[in-house]
Every structure is written in structure tokens, then in C-alpha cells.
Amino acid sequence: MKKLTILLMFLFLILGLVAQESDRSGYETVKKLETERDIAQRTENLLYPFVGKTIVRVDLDLRYPSDILTPFGMALDRKESLPGLPVARSKGVLPSTIDNQETYPTFIVKKKITVFVDRNISKQMEEFIRENLNTWLKIDPEKGDELEIKKTLNFSEAAIMTKAKLTTSKIQILMGLILLIIFIIFLFIFNSGIKNISSAMRNINIAGLEKTLRFRGNVNTPFDVRGGNRASKLETENQEPLPIKIVSEEEEKDSLDFSFLEKLSIENFFKITENEKLEDMTFVLSKLSRGYVREIFKNYSGDLNKLISAMINQNKMNKKRARELREKLFELHKKYLEEENIQFSGIEYLVNIINNLPAKDANEFYEKIKEVNEGTAAELRTRIFLLEDILKLSEEVMEELTFAIDHELLIRFLASVSEDIKEKFFNALTSRAAAIYREDMELLGELSDLEKENAINQTLMIIRKLLNYI
């Protein structure tokens, strides 16, 4: 046990030293890491509207203010100097900041930018990225700056799901190993404790201890309870088997359970209890849930003061009367429960249907409702979203949609819809982004009717979700 404790303490000490050393090694590069992260995030955000998802890696060589800070001038320190032992001090050092402004800023000496893009990206888009990043990030090859574009990524949903599954599997394996180690340590400690307890009990020899123990049945033990080494034969006691009574389901019902009444509406509850005495009424209320009783009090049409007085004064009822009251109310409850009408919202049901239908089917279904009842159709119109409703959206909403919808899907959608919907999307884009979308549409080629229908329906469902229609 002591060896295991020392081993665990040594392991934790090594882990602490490793963590402390890693903290020290990263301390001097905090400024560099923060600058690289900020440039990478800014570059990814700039590229997203044009090329979608990218990963940018930035590697910088920095020159810090401390590299060029030097003291200027030396002077004799008369207060600290002693006869024959002069003390000199620096007159001053130029501070690194004055009024929160850097006197010597941190310079970027050299930068290397690597952009990872989708492997299926076009050559024109690659040239667009290279041209604009040279301008945005001021890439200067003469200073040693580098810009590299790697077409190695696959942002498809299948690839993302595969990576997620692999990550989950690794986490599960790691957790399994940790639990296994904990279980082995627990077994080791438990086994050591059991051995110590067994050794201590073998050394106990108290006179009369066997009289305090009573055993039933034939049991052979390797040791006598008094500490001897001979086998002992324990006495048996013969007893009659316990009687078992089979209780019917009806007899097993709790005579004080009135929760079945909560299945009724408040209106029907009042109907089946209108002829009951106040004392019986208060007893029934004491057996129901607080929420149901609260609704009863809200809708009670009788004298509420009398009911409250009866609840205060009434605190006893014999079991026979309680059983009779329960049986009576149970029969009435079954009768009213069968006669209760089931309420449902037809309008809400129609809204959910239309907002989950494809574009063409949703339009046709709405037109049929309009033919049957124009008033209902007018009420539905404000709560459903059809394809033509895109034209009613504001520029801010359209701009958000262009960012939220997948680039490839949006290209197929724009190639499949009418000109007015296309222009609605293009007006929300910059001229450069709109030109890129038009170029990608031309490269896409002609789509089949089925491909157009799928692109429209997928995009419409995404828009409905983003606008909280479903």
C-alpha cells in the first residue's frame, strides 16, 4: 500500500513539472501566437463570402521593442557611493509605452501565409485568392514573405462526420483506459484491505463470542468460531414455510388514490362532484396534485369561503367511507371521460403541414385551402413561408441568408429559380461577389428538372428554419 501511494505521488509530481515546463516554454511567444491567430481569423473571415470555408495558417517573425531599448547616459549615484567605492547608475531608459502608446512598436519582419482550401476549387478562384491576399496582407517576396495555397481539404458532410466519429472513438478509448486504471488501483487497495482485516480477525479470541452468533441451515466452516482448527457442525432449525397469499388486482388498488380524476377537464370535475358534501369534496382535493387543485380554485363557482372553512375543519374520514366515495367517483369518471371531446387546433396543423412541404406542393395546397375558405387562407398566409416570399425579405435578411446557405447549394438554387429571385440575392451581394456567383453558375452548366427541384426545396427548407417558420 505504501509503495502504491509513493508511486502515485511520484507520477503526479512528474506531470506537474511537465505542465510547468510547457507553460514556461510558451510564455515568450504569447504576443506572436496572438498576432498569428488574429491575422488567420481575419483572413478566413475575408475569404468566406467568396470561397466559403477555409483554414489559414500564419507563421510570423517578429521584432520586439526590447530588442532596441538601450539605456542612455550614466551618472554617479552620490547617495549610494562610499569613499573609495563609487556607485554609478543609468540616467534613464526610454519607456516602451507613453500614455498607453507604444514608443517602439512590435514589427513584423517576415510572414508566411498558408491557405488550405477545398480540393475542388476552380483555378480562377485560386488566382482570385492569391491576387487579393497579396494586397490585403501586403505580401512582399523581397522581404522573404511567402503565400501558399493548398487544395487539400474536403468540407463535405461525410468527411466532417467521419472526423467527428474518429474523434469520438479516440475519446471513448481514452476514457476506457482511464476507467480500467482506476478499477485496477481500486482492486489492489480493496484486496490489501481485505487481507489486513482477515489477519486481524484471525488473531481475535474472545470468550463467548460464538454465543452472540446464530446460524440457520447446515453450514460447514474450516475453523471453529472459538479459534480452533477443527471443523464445526452448526445446528439447524426447522421452521414451517411462510404462507403466501395471492392478492387480486382489484384488492390491490389503493382506496385513497383519487388521481384518476385529474384526467377529467375542470368542467367535468365539477359535474361529478356537484352533489357531494363539502366534507367529501375537501377530502378529494387533499388527494389531488397542487396544480390541479389550483385550477379548481380558480374556476370554482360556489361559495369559496365555505369550501375553505370545510378544508380547515375537516381532517378525518374512515376508510370505508373513503373507499365508497372513490368507487362512486371512479364510475362517474369513466362515464364522463368517454364523453369528453378531444380538442385540437386545425389551423396549427395546416401551418405545420405547409411549412414542411416542398415549394411546388406548398403552393398548390395553399391554393386549395384558399378555394375552400378564404378567411382561413388569409389567417394561414401570415404564418407560412412560400418560395415567392423571398421577394418580401429585407436586404439585411438577404445578406444573412447568403452567408448561412452553403455556397454550392446557393449556386444550384440561383440557377433553378426565376430572374426576380436571382436579382433579389444578387442585390444583397457586393459587385465582386455577384460576379463570382454568376461565373460559377455558368460553369455549373444545365441542370435537370429533378436537380433544380431538389436545390429549390433544400434551400427553401433552410430559409424556413433560419426564419423560425419550422
pLDDT of residue 209: 42
Handedness of CA 276, 279, 282, 287 (dihedral sign): negative
CA 6, chain centre distance (Å): 40
CB-count burial class (<10 Å; 0-12, 13-18, 19+) for 113: buried
Give the helix ranges, DSSP H, for 382-447: 395-404, 407-414, 419-426, 431-444
Has residue 77 got a pLDDT over 50? yes
Q: What is the pTM of this model?
A: 0.32
- pLDDT classification of 457: cutoffs 50, 70, 90: very high
Q: Residue 228 pLDDT more than 70?
A: no
Range in 137-151, 152-166, 396-410 the model is least confident about: 152-166
Residue 217 pLDDT level (bands cut at 50, 70, 90): very low
Residue with the bigger pLDDT between 305 and 129: it is 129
Distance CA 241, CA 328 (A): 40
194 or 352, greater pLDDT: 352
Cell matching residue 210: 460464538
pLDDT digits (tens, 9 = 90+) for 243-254: 444 444 444 445
pLDDT digits (tens, 9 = 90+) for 14-65: 665 555 554 444 444 677 888 888 898 888 888 888 878 889 998 888 876 6
What is the structure's pLDDT at 128? 87
The predicted structure's pLDDT at residue 114:
92
Q: 98-119 pLDDT, tens per residue?
A: 556 655 667 788 889 999 988 8
Q: How confident is the model at residue 11 (pLDDT cuts 50, 70, 90)?
A: low
